[in-house]
């Protein structure tokens, strides 16, 4: 009789609490308390466990669907890639793409299930091939670059990102068959622009990316010359990102 009264009281409380958005289940198991979002789930040690677990399955789930994935919050690793770069601007028709590389590190921080922040730090070779009436050669610019992209996960394996970058010049040369000149004095020490990227997760260890760099700053510095013209960095990069966090967890 006592158990019947307790069961009846528990059912009345259950109906009242469910009307307020609170789920109540009855079980002989140890009570559990879980909160995700606005949902409050409560287990009470009264009645037959199998009956009430079947009526309130979400209360007793060990892994609720809305549980956060803490292991996915932060990733970091190394990246390497092949770069095709040129210079756009006043004489873009005289510039062609030259091949180079990038090498550095990255971090991926999950703000939510679909939105992430991705800072990178790497060396990248930019510049272009060129030709004029007197000679042909290449301008080779080396930067330490820091892009910070806001990433959006379209699917579990596919992400797109956009964000600003800043680059610090460490070398600048004009090279050809019969000349090799240091032109760092005629190139600005800081470049900035936008980076757009699309990334595909091949496995938990490897992600491949295709990126585009669009420089917004004139790279030429003609303080010692009367004549000036505009050149802007333009580049595409195919990169491979290796997750050190995933390798360390093996």
Average pLDDT score, the chain: 80
Q: pLDDT tens-digit profile of 131-141?
A: 776 778 999 99
Q: pLDDT tens-digit profile of 104-155?
A: 999 999 999 899 999 999 999 999 998 776 778 999 999 999 999 999 999 9
Residues of the chain with CATH 2.40.160.20: 70-248
pLDDT of the residue at 90: 79
pLDDT of the residue at 92: 75
Per-position DSSP letters for 28-93, written without gaps between them? SSPP-EEEETTEEEEEES-S-HHHHHHH-GGGS-SS-TT---GGGSEEEEEEEEEEEEEEEETTGG
CATH 1.10.8.60 fits 70-248, yes or no: no
**Angle ∠(57,62,65) on CA atoms, nearest 5:** 75
pLDDT of the residue at 133: 62
For the entire predicted model, the pTM comes to 0.69
Which residues are CB-neighbours of 76 under 8 A, at least 6 positions away? 105, 106, 107, 108, 243, 244, 245
Q: pLDDT tens-digit profile of 7-47?
A: 555 555 555 555 545 454 444 444 444 444 444 444 444 55
- Say whether pLDDT at 162 is over 90: yes
């Amino acid at each position: 009789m006592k158990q019947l009264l307790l069961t009846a009281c528990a059912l009345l409380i259950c109906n009242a609490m469910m009307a307020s958005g609170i789920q109540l289940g009855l079980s002989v198991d140890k009570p559990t308390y879980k909160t995700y979002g606005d949902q409050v789930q409560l287990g009470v040690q009264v009645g037959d466990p199998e009956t009430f677990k079947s009526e309130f399955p979400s209360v007793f789930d060990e892994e609720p669907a809305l549980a956060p994935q803490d292991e996915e919050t932060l990733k970091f690793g190394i990246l390497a890639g092949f770069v095709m770069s040129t210079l756009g601007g006043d004489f873009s028709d005289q510039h062609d793409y030259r091949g180079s590389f990038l090498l550095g590190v990255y971090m991926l921080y999950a703000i939510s299930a679909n939105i992430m922040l991705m800072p990178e730090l790497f060396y990248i070779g930019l510049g272009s091939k060129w030709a004029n009436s007197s000679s042909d050669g290449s301008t080779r610019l080396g930067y330490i670059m820091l892009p910070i992209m806001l990433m959006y996960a379209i699917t579990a394996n596919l992400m797109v990102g956009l964000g600003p970058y800043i680059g610090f010049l460490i070398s600048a040369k004009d090279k050809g068959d019969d000349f090799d000149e240091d032109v760092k004095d005629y190139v600005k020490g800081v470049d900035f622009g936008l980076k757009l990227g699309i990334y595909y997760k091949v496995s938990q260890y490897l992600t491949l990316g295709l990126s585009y760099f669009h420089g917004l700053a004139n790279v030429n510095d003609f303080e010692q010359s009367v004549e000036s013209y505009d050149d802007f960095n333009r580049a595409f990069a195919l990169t491979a990102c290796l997750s050190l966090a995933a390798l360390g967890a093996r």
